[in-house]
Amino acid sequence: MRETSFIKPIERMNAVREGVILDRWPWVPSVYEHGARLLDKSPGEVSRSAALMAQAACTAYQTYGHEIVSVGIDIYNIEAEAFGCIVSDGAGKSIPGVTNHPLAEGAWKPSELEIPQPGPGNRLGVITEAVERVVERIGDEVWVYACMGGPFSQAVELRGFEALIADMYEAPESVHALLERTTELAVQQACRLSQCGAGINLFESWATLPLIDPSIFERFVIPYNQRVIHAVREGDATPPPAVILGGDTARLIDYFLRAGAGLIAADYMTDFAFMRQKLGDHPMIIRGCVDPKMIERGQWPSLEAMIEKLAEKATGMARFVWGCGCVSYDTPPEALLRFKQLALAADRSPAV
C-alpha cells in the first residue's frame, strides 16, 4: 500500500468529507484511556488534568499518526458527573466509572435538576481546556474531536438503565422531562467544545442495539441527539458532529440521517450494502470498526480475516475510514501499529 506522507491528515479527512480519496482510506483508532498508558500514568490521573489529557491526545497522535484525534479519557462520565453522579477514581489501569444513580430511588422531579456550569465542582471546564490545548497544538494538522456523553446515556447514568426503561412504559412523560434537562446541558457543552474548533463525538453507548430497540431509539434518543447536532451545526461546526455507539448501526441509519450526523461508527458485521443504498451521495462518513480486544490480544489471523471482510464490504466507498472500538490501556503500542499496517495493506478505496 502506497503511503503519501506529505498529505496532512486534515487534508485527507477534508477530502473524504467531500467524497474524494487522495491516496487511501484514513485510519482512525479510538484512543482514550490508552493515551494515559503512553504517559505511564493512570487513566484517573489523566482524566482530571487538562494538561495531561491534552498531552495524552498529542502523544498518541505523535505515536500513531491517526487521521482523527479524540480528546477524552472516561468519555461517558463528564456530564453525568456534573449532574451529581459519583465517579470512581480510576486508579491503576482502571477507567473512572459512574458508581451511583442519584435519581434511582424515591420521588424526583426532572424540572428541579439544575443545569451545571463549568466550575471547580466538575470537569466540564477541564475537558474544554484540554480540547483548546490540543486544537492549538495540532489543530492545523488533524481533525480534533471532543468527547461527551449523549443526552440518553446521561439520563441512564442518573436514573439507572432498568428504571429508565420501566419509566418509558409507566411514565414516559418523566423520561422526556429528564431528557430535556440532559439535552440542555449537552447543547451547552457541545457549543463550548465546538467553539474551541473541535468536532463533537456524541457517545450514546446505552442506546446500542440490542440494549434498546429501534422504537425506543426513535422516541427517546435521536430527537435529543438532533437538537445537540443542530446546535453545533448552526455554528458551522468543522469537523462534522459524530454520533458514536456500537452494534448494527445500519438498522438506525435513517435516524442518523434525520439528525444530521456527519460521522457514525459501524462494526465489521454491519450491513454496508444497506447503508450505501440509504446514503447515496449523502456526505456522512462511516468509520468501519474491528474488535479492539483482538488487537490487544494479538489475534492476528482472526483480525486479518475481520479486516479483509470489512475491506470487501467497503470496496469503492469514498467516505469510509478504518477504525476500531476503544483501544484498551493494556494494548501494546506495537500491536496498534500492526493493526494500522494491516488496514492500509487491505485498502480498497477508489484511489487504489
Q: Per-residue pLDDT for 23 more than 90?
A: yes
Residue located via cell numbers 458485521: 269
Distance CA(301)–CA(118), nearest Å, equals: 47
Q: Per-residue pLDDT for 237 more than 60?
A: no
Average pLDDT on 342-352 reads 92
Average pLDDT on 130-147 reads 98
Reported as a pLDDT band with limits 50, 70 and 90, residue 234 is confident
pLDDT recorded at residue 352: 76
Average pLDDT on 284-312 reads 97
3-state secondary structure of 71: strand
User: Higher pLDDT residue, 188 or 5?
Assistant: 188
Q: Is 179 in contact with 107 (CB distance < 8 Å)?
A: no
What percent of the chain lies above the pLDDT cut of 70?
97
What percent of the chain lies above the pLDDT cut of 90?
91
Q: Per-residue pLDDT for 84 more than 60?
A: yes
Cell numbers linked to 219 = 422516541
Q: What is the pLDDT of residues 188-232, one digit of tens each?
A: 999 999 999 999 999 999 999 999 999 999 999 999 999 999 999
Distance CA(89)–CA(99), nearest Å, equals: 10
Q: Per-residue pLDDT for 107 more than 90?
A: no
The amino acid sitting at 35 is: G
Task: Please give the model's pTM, rounded to 2 decimal places.
Answer: 0.96
Q: Per-residue pLDDT for 325 more than 50?
A: yes
Q: What is the CATH T-level fold of the domain 9-345, as seen in this structure?
A: TIM Barrel (3.20.20)
pLDDT recorded at residue 5: 55
Q: Is 200 in contact with 172 (CB distance < 8 Å)?
A: no
pLDDT recorded at residue 236: 57
